[in-house]
Structures are given as structure tokens and as C-alpha cells.
Chain A
Amino acid sequence: MSAAGLLLAAALLVPLALAAGCLSRAFQARVPGLLWLAPMPALLAAWWLPAGTSVSFPVPFRMTLALDQTGAILLGGAALLWGAAGAYAASYLRGKPGLTGFCVWWPLTLAGSLGVLIVADIAGFYLLFTLASLSAYGLVAHEQTPAAKRAGLVYMVLALLGEAFLLFAFVMLAAGQPDPNPLIRDAVAALPGSPMKDGIVALLILGFALKMGLIPLHVWLPLAHPAAPMPASAVLSGVLVKAGVIGLIRFLPFEAALPAWGGLLGTVGILTAFGGAALGVMQQRPKTILAYSTVSQMGLVAAILGAGLAAGDPSAPGLAAYYGLHHTLVKGGLFLAVGIALACGGAHRRPVLLITGLLALSLAGLPLTSGALAKLAVKPMLGYGLLSIAVSLAAAGSTMLMLHFIAVIARETADNPGASAPPAETLPFLIVAAASLVIPWWLYPTLSGDALASAWSLASLWKLVWPMMLGVVIFMGAGRFAGLAGRVPEGDILVLAERQAPRLARMPAAIERLDSRLRLWSAAGLVLLGLVIWLGGGFLLAA
């Protein structure tokens, strides 16, 4: 195993080792201070290792890790956010109850969410995807409030449902392969020729859309992300949804065009982008607004991938990853910012709000920010048709939503007493914010194929600015948001579904009644006799 391979493996193993360390009572107390270290191997791997590095674990651990450009982009951003959030968490959660549990779930989720970005075989992908999904429950439900419990329950049910979709899809995907655990690449290459193609693609999209929070499968997201403690919200919203993105990237055959499925994915994406913004505007809590913004942004990523799938454009994954990187850093930074802002007051409040505003508008595509670069990079692929216009309009929606967010956060922090957040929290926040501004510039030329200078051009600026202006106009014009705010409860359609719950709960009760009846002696005896007669008749007929 080469040094490069070892580093790649360490990206996965180091966080797992940290989680295992929590079993030792002596080591437990030291774990919180080490959280920030857990993603460092991954960060180094993303930074240093060339694309194409791969490593296979020895038998019986069937798992192959491989780094490619797409994976590296997402891995770097995710690892950075994990590291910063880990440092933030150590300070934020100090002395609060349940710290040990948090220190188990955090590195497990971390390992899973970073692992899916670099794993190359199907079983390994499912394993790490599941690890990330299930361990994240510990983060969502960490605070043990009724809201957190409800969020955790909804999260768990839908996560398991998603797992089921994916398992079935993966099993069908691997069924035709000679190797029972094929590399994702090989299996996907054979996908367009598979007789079960449509079923597989449908299940894949369902499963990953659940994770990304595409409408109407987004219901868990606005509940789960705000329920978690601040640093956990940052990684849930910034990194974990990317597990869905990387899933679509890895498993959809972008080399072969699937116009129908691409069109569907794109349409759902656009609808999600609008819907997320529209629903978000009606929210009143900053973290919920950010969660809806994540829904909206993931809609855009889905739209990009849908367009790529429809056209058979192999560049779509790279661009989606680039957009994802931007979102990871910005959204992670924003969640941390909420925590900082809520802790700051007086003179300290203004600079924090300034940076927060900058980050927020970056999501909308404020020129010179990462958002602008991301939007510019994907523009050529979207072409100049309806889709392009829709994406631009979505940016207007984002602007509106982010202005709403800034207004809410400003209002919420207005009465804070004069204090400042501890430096152990401020510093990670600043690092993420800085990275979100710097790193995309560095990657832009490789990904978009254009020179950096093109991003300065007037045409580009106009492309970015008109939707933002539209957004500002709508926000100002429709000042009646105050009336709308709070109209839609968090989790929107879930709440409607929950009203039907009593009706649904009747079925288990009916099953219970049936069970108690079947377990009467005379009933069971009759059933036994009936079985004898049924089988006897069947056998006589078959003979």
C-alpha cells in the first residue's frame, strides 16, 4: 500500500478510530478537543493526492477507495467545514450534557459523509452512506427536546426509507455484474443496457433525492437541521446533503443520455429551487430559513445534474461538485454565523452581521463571491433556453430568501447584551468564511475552462446582477412578508401528513387485534388444520 493509499485510507479510518476511542473512559474526556483533527487526513488527501489515487482494503474488508477530481473538490470543502465545525463544537458544547454521545456520533457521521465522496465500490458506498445517515440521527436528536425528538423520528423514518430504495437499486445494479461487489464505475457503465434500467434509475433518484431534500421529499430537512446544535446543523446542511449529490454524480450514467430521466430530475430541481425559497420566506427562525435555503440550493444542483443527464454531458458532475463546494462552505459558514451572531452584542455585532450578510448574498450570486463563480461556471452547460432563465429566476428567489434571513437575524440579535463569542468559536467561523471566498477562485479555471478574467467581464456581471436586483425588488415590494411569515409551519406538507396519522395508526391497532384473535388456542388450531388442508389439496393437485 503506497503512502498515498495510506493517506486515503486514513481519511476514513482516523475518524472511526476516534469514535472507538470513546469506548475508553480514560480517553473520553479528551475526545472533544480532538474533533477538529478527525477530518485532517481527508483535507490533506484532497489537497495533495492526485486524482486517480486508489486503495483497496485487504480481504475480508471489501472496499475500494479512489479519489477523482469531483470527489476531491467535495472532499476538500467538506473536510474543511468538518474541521472548523469540530473546533467550534468543542467550545460550543463544553460542559453541556450528552457530550460523550455527541463525540461518538460526530466522528461516525464524519467518516460516513467523507467516505461516500471517495469510495469506489457499491457495497462500500452503501455502507458509508448508511453510516452517515444513521449516525446523523445522534446529532439531530442530540438536544432531547420534544422538537428534536420529533425531528429525529421523522429523519430516521425517511432515512431508512431512502436506504431501502437505494439498497434495492444497488442490488439490481450489481445483479448483472460478474463481481458480486462491482466498482460503481463498472456497474454504471452497464446500466444503460440493463433491462431493469428504468426501475434502477427511478429508485436511485428517489433515494438520493430524499437525502438532498428535493421537494416533496424535503420534509425532514427543515425539521432536522435546525433541531441539531449549531455546529451539527452546519455539517448537516453543509455536508450531509452532499451525500445525495455525490450519489447522483456517481450512479447516474452521464456518458449516456437519458433525456426523460434527466428532464424529470431537472424539473424537480427547478421546482425545488423555487419552492424552497418560497417556503423559506414564510419562516421566522434563522436556522429554519437556512434549512429551506439548502432545499432550494440542492434543487439547483439537481437541475444542473438533470440537464447533464438529459444531454449526456460528462462535465455536469464536475460542475455540480463545484456548486456543491460553494454551498458547503457558505452554508456551513452561515450556520456558524448564526451561532456567533446570537452570542454577540454591542460593538461585536456589526462585523459579524456584515460577514453574515456577505455570505448570505454569496448564495444568491453576489458578484466576486463564490456564488457568483459557481453560477457563472454552470451557465454554459445550462445553455440559453428555458432552463437557464429558470435558474436565473431561482437566484432571484435566493436573493429574496437571503434578504429575509438577514432581516430576521438582525432583528433577533438586536437586543443582545454587549458580549463577544469566544475566540475558539469565532476563529473557525472566520476560517470557513475566508475559505468560501478564496477557494472557489482557485478552482474556477480548471472547472469552467474559462480564464478567471472572464468572471470580471461586464456580461458576466449582468448575468448575475439582474436576478439579484429582481430579488431585491420583490423583497422590497412585497413587504407583506410579515403577514405571510409563520403561515407555513416548519416541515410544511409533513404537518398535513401528520394530521392523517391517527388514521394511519389505526392499522397497527387492527393488526394487534387480529393478532390477539389469532393467538387464541381454538383459532390457531383451526389455522393449523386449515394449513394441512390447503397444503394437502395443493399437493394432490400438483401430483
Chain B
Amino acid sequence: MGLADAFTLVCAVAGAILFLAGTLGLLRFPDTLSRLHALSKADSLGLGLIVLGLLPQQASLMGGVKLICIWLLAQLSAATASQLIAGIAARRKPQA
């Protein structure tokens, strides 16, 4: 197991733990906004860590670029989705 592999392992495990924490937050937190907060924060970071960890494993430069693209796209969609959900939650609240 080389240095690169060790780096991958550490990053991936850390990413997985963040995912787990995010999921726990989703299940346990009381209201929509805080759930969303836990989920998006943990997921963005978790995915980032995993992608980071996988980078040394890529044989070609192209593969690395693809991985980073994936992370960026996930960031984009996660941000939008969070915005949308938060918007709906905010609109509902005053009426409730």
C-alpha cells in the first residue's frame, strides 16, 4: 500500500463518515431548514473528500478532470436543490 493508497483510504473514510453524519442529521434534526443544512453541508464536503481521495487513483489526466466535473456538477445541483427546498420551507412558514 503506497502513500497514494493511504491518502485515498483516509479521504474516502472521512467522506463516508461525513455522509453518515449528514444522514443522521437529516433523520434527527427538528425542522426543514436545519435538516437541509446538515444534509447539504455534509454531502458537499463528503463528496468532495471522496473525489479528492480518488484523484490519485486515476491513470489519466482525463479521468481526474471528469471526477472534478462530477463534483462541480453535484455542487451545482445540490446548491440549487437546497435553495428550492429552503424557498418552499420559507414560504410555508409564515402561513403555518
Do A and B share a direct contact in the complex (Cβ within 8 angstroms)?
no
Q: Give me the interface of B with A, judged by CB distance under 8 Å.
A: none
Q: Give me the interface of A with B, judged by CB distance under 8 Å.
A: none
